Amino acid sequence: MGTRIHSTAVVDPSAQLGTEVQVGPFCVIDADVTIGDRCKVDAHARIHAHTHMGADNHVHSFAFLGGDPQHLKYKGEPTRLEIGDRNLIREYTTLHRGTVNAEGVTRLGSDCMLMAYAHVAHDCVVEDMVVMANAATLGGHVHVGTKAVLGGLCAVHQFARVGAYAFIGGKAGISLDIPPYMIATGTPAKLYGPNVIGLKRQGFSAEAVSNIEQAYKVIWRSGKKRQDAINEVLAACPDAPEVTFLIDFLQKTTRGVSADNQLAVNGQDIPVY
């Protein structure tokens, strides 16, 4: 089966479509768009200029890809949206291009599922196998790690990070970084411990999960100072890559990291960072 473009679709002659691509009725695809092999673009989808996607993506009806960034300083520069392979992009999802204030590119990895009305703003990086449930929203410059899950209607503040394998509850308000492996929910979001079930489903060994649980208890539940807690965790688990990954994330924070839900003094949450 070759590439098929419906007679009502508007596809710029300079757009590059791979083999076996399907473009449905009333789609609009601009110049400087690359669509990889076997992609399917359903009726009424809109793909703006400077959007480049890999193979085997499915873009559902009314999705809006590569639009201008919603940024007051944007002046029409030819920034980019880059999409990997095998992504499922559902109805009314929006992904905007980057800005020249950053690297000029918004990136979506491979094997992601973006449910209806999800929004990925300018300059975001969404790594592989991320799930964004209905109406999950990323502000500009957000970084979401591999296999993170974002619940419906959650919102992530500009420049915040969501670590790999984290699980964000529905309607959560994320203003600070959420570390890898953790569950977070609420507004403002607080940590509720490691995502143990999710980690086991992803093939983490019992030892790795135990190391993560121990690191969480020392860093967020012991009340110790940040560096003292980190030193204790590294001494206890010197050869655990999952712990090293967690500590590296914490040490690179710029916004700060969400605090534990249960650690409090006189009813006031203790901020870890």
CATH topology of domain 4-141: UDP N-Acetylglucosamine Acyltransferase; domain 1 (2.160.10)
Average the pLDDT over 98-118 and give the result.
97
Measured over the CA atoms of residue 199, residue 205, residue 209 and residue 215, the dihedral's sign is: negative
Beta-strand pair 51-53/88-89: unpaired
Q: Does domain 199-269 have CATH number 1.10.3720.10?
A: no
pLDDT at 182: 98
Report pLDDT digits (tens) over 20-36: 999 999 999 999 999 99
Say whether pLDDT at 253 is over 70: yes
Report pLDDT digits (tens) over 42-75: 999 999 999 999 999 999 999 999 999 999 999 9
Would you place residue 271 in the very low, low, confident or very high pLDDT band (cuts 50, 70, 90)?
Answer: very low
Q: Where are the domains of the chain?
A: 4-141, 199-269
Residues of the chain by 3-state class (helix, strand, coil), percent to 5: 15, 30, 55
Q: Closest Cα partner for 22 from 60, 49, 52? A: 60
Catalytic site positions = 122-123, 140
Cα distances (Å, whole numbers) of residue 47 to 4, 9, 44, 59, 77: 16, 12, 10, 10, 17
On average, the pLDDT of the chain sits at 94
Cα distances (Å, whole numbers) of residue 73 to 40, 67, 68, 222: 34, 15, 11, 44
pTM of the model as a whole: 0.94
